Amino acid sequence: MSIRRSAKIMLPLGVLLVVAAAVMRFYVVPSVSKLPSDLDVTNHYEGTGTLLDAAALQAGDAAHAVNSNVPVTLDRHTYVSGTHGDTAIVHDDFTVNAPGGISLPTNHTYAIDRKTMDAAAAPTGIEVEAHRGLTIGLPISPNPDTGYQLYDFATGTTVPMKYTGNSTVAGREVLDYLVESAGNLQDKAILAALPPTLPKAQLAGMAPLLPADLQAKLGAAAEALPDPVPLKYTVTSKFGLAADKALGTPVNGTLAMTIIANVDIAGKPVAIMPVMALDTKLTHDSIAQAADTAASTSRLLTIAAIAVPVVMAILGLALLVIGVMRRRPHSSHTPEHSDQSSVTTTTAN
């Protein structure tokens, strides 16, 4: 192959590689740097809890109506069922498990922006839970100066996420956040598992288990209370989140929640007793799995965002330089011919 012919191949190939590097860096990488369409992860929490035994309560067995400090586990299954452009339909399912075969599920479906991880408009025909704020994690490359907010499914409200600093979990740099919320219990699944009313006789039977001041309040208001007595529930929650500094995905976390049964006395809610209290943290195995996944995903993104475009650009530029050099005409060194002057022949006379 001639030098000039090889230059004709190298120049367009060099241009193609440079353009491909730019496309890879500025178009392909941003398109994959978002919530994946095949997300499917289950995290496990463990700890202790206080749980209402509804059957015992309905039977009038006040002494066994509440099981305190029992071992509990919390399974959180998060997965994407479909994507519509930059909108993902995400399912976030929680199930509390306790001794005696107790299982309390609460399932939530959200429309989430795959880049910002905030709420998105649901596609036509798909029913999701209305919400504002983050739900399953932070966006890629989270900024600690950003005032992120978290949607609390228990109260149906959006609360600020307090950034508390950086730390390291299982070899991954993380951003630590603390979230606290309080309000009326709005979660339909949890409410369905709790009694909406309590017969006055059962409430009176529970009086010996209550503090003295509360017994006095109930005693004074007993005649005015309807039968059955309506119950209202309030909930306080405290979430701890360690989000991967590069990906924004949860690497470690804690979840504490307390639900209180309240009775309306003289127009004011009076707390009777906790009917569910959880104090849990992510298991060691779930932390290790989350850290491993974050590490492998981060490596792939680094390769795609930096290594591959840089190598392609260098090869492209090298081909362009070589191609240009080969296209230059070679200078021919021919002997210089001086103009011949007329030779005057002198004839000797």
Query: What are the tokens at 116?
Result: 């910002």
What are the C-alpha distances in Å from 107 to residues 37, 70, 120, 183, 195? 19, 23, 19, 20, 20
Question: What pLDDT is attached to residue 58?
Answer: 62
With H, G, I as helix, E, B as strand and everything else as coil, classify residue 65: coil
Question: What pLDDT is attached to residue 120?
Answer: 97
- Angstrom distance (rounded) from CA 202 to CA 61: 9
Question: What pLDDT is attached to residue 48?
Answer: 97
Helix or strand holding residue 11 (H, E): helix 3-23
Question: What pLDDT is attached to residue 310?
Answer: 61
Question: What pLDDT is attached to residue 349?
Answer: 40
Question: For strand 102-113 and strand 149-152, is the pairing parallel, antiparallel, or unpaired?
Answer: unpaired
Question: What pLDDT is attached to residue 342?
Answer: 46
- Angstrom distance (rounded) from CA 155 to CA 338: 101
Question: What pLDDT is attached to residue 347?
Answer: 44
Instruction: Let me know if 87 is exposed, middle or buried by CB neighbors in 10 A (0-12, 13-18, 19+).
Output: buried
User: In order along the chain (349 residues), what is the average pLDDT of each group of 10 residues?
Assistant: 61 62 52 78 96 68 74 97 94 93 93 95 95 95 94 97 96 97 96 88 74 79 86 96 94 96 87 90 96 84 59 65 66 50 45
- Angstrom distance (rounded) from CA 126 to CA 107: 16
Write down the domain spans for the chain: 3-25+306-327, 37-282
Question: What pLDDT is attached to residue 303?
Answer: 54
With H, G, I as helix, E, B as strand and everything else as coil, classify residue 105: strand
Question: What pLDDT is attached to residue 301?
Answer: 67
Closest C-alpha among 253, 255, 239 to residue 161: 239
Q: Letter for the amino acid at 155?
A: T
Alpha helices in 67-175 (DSSP H): none
Question: What pLDDT is attached to residue 304?
Answer: 55
